Each structure stands twice: as C-alpha cells, then as structure tokens.
C-alpha cells in the first residue's frame, strides 16, 4: 500500500501566519453536489476562482467550520491536484502554504523567490550589487537601483485571481496554494495604496515553523 507524505498546513494573509486552513463548501450546480474544498480567488470578470478539493473530511456547514491542519497531496481522476486529510504530519521537508494574498487600492501583488541582485537603472551603466546592498550605484553613484528576484520556489497546486472594479481593471492579484520546501524563501509583494502597511513579506519554513518577516526585520535579526 502506497504511503503519502503528510505535510503541515498554514494560511498566510497580509503577512500574518496562522496554523491550518479553513475549508469551504463548494457547490457544483450542474452535478447537484457540494464538496469540501479550499478556495482561491473569486468569480467574475477579470477574476478566477481556484478550487482545491479535499478528500477525507465532511463538507462544512454554517456554524461548524473545519480547519485543515495536515494533508497529503494526491490527484483527482482527471489528474488535477487534490488534498487528502491526514491526522498527523509525517514529513517536514516541505509545508503546504495557503496564500490568501491581497493587494493595495488600485494595485496588484506578486509572488517570487528571494532577492537575487540589484542593477543600476541609469542608461549605459552596467553597475550591479548584491541583494543586501544599500545606497547608490557602486559604479556611477546613481540613486536608482532596481531589484531582481529568484523564481518562486515550490510547487503551485492551485491558483485564483481577485480583482477590484466591475471588470477587474482597478487592480488585481493572485492567490495560491504552494508546497514550499524547507529552507527556500518565498516573497509576497503588494502594490497600490497600502496606507502604511508593509509592501512585502518574506516566508521561510525551517522544518518546525513558518516565519514571515519584512526585509527590514530580516536585516535587523538575520533570522534567515
């Protein structure tokens, strides 16, 4: 009998980490059935609803929420990702992260890997610096240094899109479920009007806890 790896589950929203993920009841109208699932994004123009079905738990009803704490990753009959509820964690090499990411007013969001390098934006200058460089370009002294980022680590199991405005043109962003390996850094950035909130958070799973910090907090603590 095949044994599946069961991972711990976390939800991240606005940089805040919570253990577990709440399960929704998703109605398939044409089939007349309702299934338990974790939902991402929303329905409508300029939007996309992502549905990650669950196996091994009842469909939640109003007033009786279900919080998923551990799950293994499998497939539906059509080959799409599906989560199987587990009663305990058996693998800490990765973690399941539900990213209910938002964005600022008239903005967007982005999911990437860690900072990679910085390059000078001045025309004709080839100045580059490391990701932790502070200050002007080391070659020409220009003030505009542009960051680049590594690709987002992990495996995306489900994705959806949220948006502002009737046609979704005022702003939009993605929401994801990611199987994130230990030691990898995942960055969530937000643009638009944030009203003082941080524009980016960096996540890392160390095998025991999922940490979420701003770049400034990383510089102060060298946490990872």
Average pLDDT score, the chain: 94
Measured distance CA(152)–CA(183) in Å, rounded: 13
Q: What is the pLDDT of residues 100-151, one digit of tens each?
A: 999 999 999 999 999 999 999 999 999 999 999 989 999 999 999 999 999 9
**Looking at residue 13, what is its pLDDT?**
95
Measured distance CA(152)–CA(138) in Å, rounded: 28
1 falls within a domain: no
Measured distance CA(7)–CA(85) in Å, rounded: 10
Three-class SS state of 192: coil
Q: What is the pLDDT of residues 27-49, one digit of tens each?
A: 988 878 999 999 999 999 999 99
On whether both 101 and 170 belong to a single domain, the answer is yes
On whether both 90 and 135 belong to a single domain, the answer is no
Mean pLDDT (whole number) for 145-170: 95
Query: What is the span of the domain harbouring residue 127?
Result: 115-148
Measured distance CA(148)–CA(117) in Å, rounded: 5
**Total domains in the fold of the chain:** 2
On whether both 21 and 45 belong to a single domain, the answer is yes
**Would the pLDDT of 74 be above 80?**
yes
**Looking at residue 200, what is its pLDDT?**
97
């Amino acid at each position: 009998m095949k044994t599946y790896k069961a991972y711990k589950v976390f939800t991240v929203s606005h940089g805040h980490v919570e253990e577990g993920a709440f399960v929704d009841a998703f109605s398939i109208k044409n089939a007349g059935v309702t299934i338990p699932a974790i939902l991402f994004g929303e329905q409508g123009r300029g939007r996309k609803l992502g549905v990650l079905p669950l196996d091994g738990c009842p469909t939640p009803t109003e007033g009786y929420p279900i919080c998923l704490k551990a799950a293994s990753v499998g497939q539906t009959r059509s080959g799409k990702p599906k989560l199987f509820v587990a009663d305990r964690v058996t693998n800490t090499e990765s973690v399941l992260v539900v990213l209910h990411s938002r964005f600022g007013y008239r903005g967007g969001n982005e999911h990437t890997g860690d900072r990679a390098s910085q390059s000078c934006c001045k025309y004709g200058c080839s100045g580059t610096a490391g990701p932790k460089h502070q200050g002007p370009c080391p070659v020409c002294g220009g003030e505009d240094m542009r960051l680049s980022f590594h690709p987002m680590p992990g495996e995306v199991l489900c994705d959806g899109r949220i948006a502002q405005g009737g046609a979704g043109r005022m702003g939009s962003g993605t929401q994801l479920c990611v199987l994130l390996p230990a030691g990898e850094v995942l960055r969530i950035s937000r643009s638009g009007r944030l009203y003082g909130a941080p524009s980016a958070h960096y996540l890392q799973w160390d095998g025991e806890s999922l940490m979420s910090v701003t770049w400034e907090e990383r510089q102060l603590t060298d946490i990872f």
